[in-house]
Structure 1
Amino acid sequence: MALLRASASLARPAARAARTPTARRAFCLSASRMAAAPSLFAGEPSGPALKTDIPGPASKKATEDLHKVFDTRSLNMLTDYKKSLGNYIADADGNVLLDVYAQIASIPLGYNNPALAKVAQTPEMVNAIINRPALGNFPPEDWAEVLRTGILKVAPKGLDQVFTAMAGSDANETAYKAAFMWRRQQERGGPDVEFTAEETSSAMNNQSPGASDLSILSFKTGFHGRLFGSLSTTRSKPIHKLDIPAFDWPQATFPLLKYPLEEHVEENAAAEKAALDEVEHLIKNYHIPPAAVIVEPIQSEGGDNHASPAFFRGLREVTKKHNVLLIVDEVQTGVGATGKFWAHDHWDLPTPPDMVTFSKKAQTAGYYFGNPELRPNKPYRQFNTWMGDPARAILFRAIVDEIERLDLVNNTARVGDYLFGKLEGLASKYPGQFANLRGKGQGTFIAFDNPRRDEFLKKAKGMGINIGGSGESAVRLRPMLIFQEHHADILIEALEKIVKSW
């Protein structure tokens, strides 16, 4: 297939009108017209451009070579990052796709962002990369300033401290450790009470009382990572958990809302009340007491499952009532994707969560907290060699600066409303193909169900769109913060062409 370029399509209007284009060619031509709006990312492509089928011959050859040394069975697309730009991802065959998956929701400002490239070349960044410190022992002399001007500059309300980590799963596991140590410290009588000889000896044998009989309560269809401890709180897909020993920890039902929301107000309220009642019952009666409850603002890997702000306020009330910590997992929802910097800002909580975990778009990871008692009472209890990465913290600082400079959180809220309105139109025309449309008022964190989801995602690639799924049938949108109305128009046209082709 010949490469389709916007400039070529605009240069030959008569020829365009004279022929009957293929579905793919027609999509690319109209996409070029829609890309005329000023872009938040100068120089990015005006629309998708496809040279070959996906994967093409170069991708197939390179994948075959890669598979000799690296497991490629989960491969989505072999990417040429040197040629990817802004909202567009390029593959090894030179195909350019509009990317509304963004490395599983982890690219905030577009590929090869010039502001980030500039920071990457600074002496500060070079020094951080080649002299990576063991942060707990040898932090850089300006580490407090790096934290205050970046990670802590955007800390959730009421949470003014941070423990830095390596990834989202790591952030959750260390938050669990903090919860367990806090709970046992309370039971023991405070931070100044020393461990008993029985505690220290039994801990070495993985026995109580040194190894505490405590748990973390999570929700069915939730996802909190694939590391050993966090996996016991992940409930999204069996393949994540098979063959791995797991803790006997409680799980509550996440309310499964019916859509449209305005047509199921009473049913949804009843589902949320039942879920809260179950949480309270488990806190009071589960045979291994929960030290904390962890919840995603939107269950992402489990199918993009939403709940109302009232549900989360109720969850905060229940956890406070029973002196159980509330951990909000903002690994996927955080850093602007929902039209607020943190998704839990939508909830209007009377008191903040006890901990908020983060990663993905932050390009670094960790958990925020405010209560000083969540610091362990002794050194080395919450510790590892790296404890994060200063280079990534510096990068996040630059990301925060760009988000503020370009007002990208408000951009995401506005564009999300625009996109949702367009999707409502598609859902009205093709109700079976855009079922349970959800995410209204949640920025671009939008999803819908499709009965042929996997085929839908494959066809999207053929239309020049890289898009992801979750759960059993959800198509989830995870565009970058620089995604604009003209990108939404390109996406909407492609989605309609897919369902029209069936």
Structure 2
Amino acid sequence: MASAILRNTVRAASRATRSFRPAPIAFNNTRMFASVAPFVKGEPEAPSIKTSEIPGPVAVEKIKALDEIFDTRALNMLCDYEKSLGNYLTDADGNSYLDVYAQIASIPVGYNNPHLLEAVQSKQCLNYLINRPALGNFPPIDWESILRTSVLSVAPPGLNQVFTALAGSDANETAYKAAFMYRRRIERGEGAEFTEAEMQSSMLNEAPGCPQMSIMSFKKAFHGRLFGSLSTTRSKPIHKLDIPAFDWPHASFPNLKYPLSEHEAENRAEEDRCLQETEHLIKTFHNPVAALVVEPVQSEGGDNHATPYFFQGLRDITARNNVLFIVDEVQTGVGATGKFWAHEHWNLSSPPDMVTFSKKAQSAGYYYTNPLLRPNKPYRQFNTWMGDPSRVLLFKAIIEEIKSKNLVENTRQTGDYLFNGLRELAKKYPEQVKNLRGEGQGTFIAWDTVNRDSFLKEMKYAGVNIGGSGETAVRLRPMLIFQQKHADILLNALESTWKKRS
């Protein structure tokens, strides 16, 4: 099996580019590779590919050995994290790549960031790594201070409490549980106790203790791989096959036409159609809808965008139908769209009821304000660890780094620059860049391309680690320290690769 895996991994459509040497591209009239100091001192000036094949000989042998004891079929790259720095990821053979995938959008401020290294070596962090608290029962004496100076210091506007969790799937899963408990609390009446019938039937997985309620999501959504979060995931069959699922509804997510400025009427009609379908399902679905969950950008499902108008409509629909509005910011949160939280682009009539987070936060959980979203009794929203204080301390260091270097604004400006460069390339290579999207969304940019999977492999030979989503989309997920000079390297690598394809 390992040999077949390796054959599939190492074959790429292009073998011409063995060592990437950036050169100016014709469309760009601004200064190329300006001598701007990197945010992480000492990072490479450019990618460097040393081996004639990727993976190289060292990685091939290590992957063979690993495959004997660990499933490597999804392996993208065997990485040397000690040698990786800033925006650059190094593999087992010493090849250095400009990384615009960033561990599936989860590295915020660069590999081996000095401030983060200092933070995790603090006595406080080491203490919680060694003596990991069971936070629900035995929180540390400084837990309140840790939360206020980290997670809550960047809480979305209008939200002032947090439930910490272990990962993105867990964050969504616990948010769903909060929504169900809230719904039944309202239906029973405040202060009402559980009935004997409810308690006994819950042990049998039957109503009334386990009522038939639902969480509503959207076609092509991705919210995680646990049972509840997986039931709201609709991106690819491979995620869901053979797994029992809850009987929950999903509505259409807008399928917009690009460029947006040329299709305003059609896109408004499409978003209205999806909004009408959403409200109809809420009103008619046989299992009452307790909450609606939506991603600001459907990241795993193909990087599908919608306009603020659509999300404003969702907020209004949920409000008038007494349905909680959950925004899944696991992938979009922590600055990637040019605002700290992507939903800040929407100008909502009222804040979301809950906002889930993970990935770039290096911790996880959900924000909320309504005190009734805190369960009426202890142990209802609970597990042993309920998150990890060492990871929350890491998030605090990430926040400090973001603020001290103004990285959200950097991402906004770099994203505008990069999008303009991609728009020019799209004119030259229209078959390679279709449906370019993400304008005004920082570096959260994507497009559709032909032979997408082979393109991702070809880009490795151009010195770029880049990712896909859905069936045909290429998605950019660089770190917040990604600058215009890195954008120039990426644009040159793209053009070099597309020239070979033409």
Q: 12, 21, 24: which one pairs with 1:27?
A: 21
**SS, match of residue 108 in structure 2:** coil
Q: Distance in 1 between matches of 2:450 and 2:289?
A: 37
- Displacement, 1:120? 1.2
Could you tell me the TM-score, scaled by structure 2's length? 0.94
Q: Distance in 1 between matches of 2:392 and 2:279?
A: 38
**SS, match of residue 221 in structure 1:** coil
- 1:43 alignment partner in structure 2: 42
1:419 lines up with 2:407 in the alignment: no
- Displacement, 1:226? 0.6
Report if the CA contact (8 A) 1:28-1:49 is conserved: no
- 2:119 alignment partner in structure 1: 119
Report if the CA contact (8 A) 1:447-1:475 is conserved: yes
Report if the CA contact (8 A) 2:88-2:97 is conserved: yes
1:290 lines up with 2:296 in the alignment: no
- 2:54 alignment partner in structure 1: 54
- Displacement, 1:469? 0.0
Amino acid at match of 2:193: E
**SS, match of residue 368 in structure 1:** strand
**SS, match of residue 397 in structure 1:** helix
- 2:29 alignment partner in structure 1: none
Amino acid at match of 2:76: N
Amino-acid identity (%): 66
Amino acid at match of 2:55: P
1:87 lines up with 2:87 in the alignment: yes
**SS, match of residue 27 in structure 1:** coil
- Displacement, 1:36? 2.8
Deviations 1:425-479 (A, max 9, x none): 0001111110000000000000000011111100000100000000010000000
Amino acid at match of 2:75: L
Q: Distance in 2 between matches of 1:388 and 1:94?
A: 35
Q: CA RMSD in A?
A: 1.2
Deviations 1:197-230 (A, max 9, x none): 1100000000001001100000000000011111
- 2:263 alignment partner in structure 1: 264
Q: Distance in 2 between matches of 1:214 and 1:227?
A: 18
Q: Distance in 2 between matches of 1:120 and 1:469?
A: 32
- Structure 1 residues not aligned, in runs of 5+: 1-21
- 2:130 alignment partner in structure 1: 130
- 2:76 alignment partner in structure 1: 76
1:332 lines up with 2:326 in the alignment: no
Amino acid at match of 2:124: E
Report if the CA contact (8 A) 1:292-1:326 is conserved: yes
- 2:28 alignment partner in structure 1: none
Could you tell me the TM-score, scaled by structure 1's length? 0.94
Report if the CA contact (8 A) 1:35-1:487 is conserved: no
- Displacement, 1:382? 0.3
- 1:97 alignment partner in structure 2: 97
Report if the CA contact (8 A) 1:217-1:250 is conserved: yes
After TM superposition, list the pairs within 5 Å mapping 1:231-250 onto structure 2: 231-250=230-249
**SS, match of residue 309 in structure 2:** helix
**SS, match of residue 328 in structure 1:** strand
- Structure 2 residues not aligned, in runs of 5+: 1-15, 26-31
- 2:316 alignment partner in structure 1: 317
Q: Distance in 1 between matches of 2:20 and 2:471?
A: 31
- 1:159 alignment partner in structure 2: 159
Amino acid at match of 1:270: A
Report if the CA contact (8 A) 2:181-2:375 is conserved: yes
Q: Distance in 1 between matches of 2:386 and 2:452?
A: 39
Q: Distance in 2 between matches of 1:289 and 1:379?
A: 26
After TM superposition, list the pairs within 5 Å mapping 1:405-484 onto structure 2: 405-484=404-483
Deviations 1:315-336 (A, max 9, x none): 0000000000000000000000
Deviations 1:105-130 (A, max 9, x none): 00000000000001111101110100
**SS, match of residue 229 in structure 2:** helix
Report if the CA contact (8 A) 2:415-2:442 is conserved: yes
- 1:67 alignment partner in structure 2: 67
- 2:224 alignment partner in structure 1: 225
Amino acid at match of 2:66: L
- Displacement, 1:41? 1.4
- Displacement, 1:23? 4.2
Q: Distance in 2 between matches of 1:70 and 1:430?
A: 40
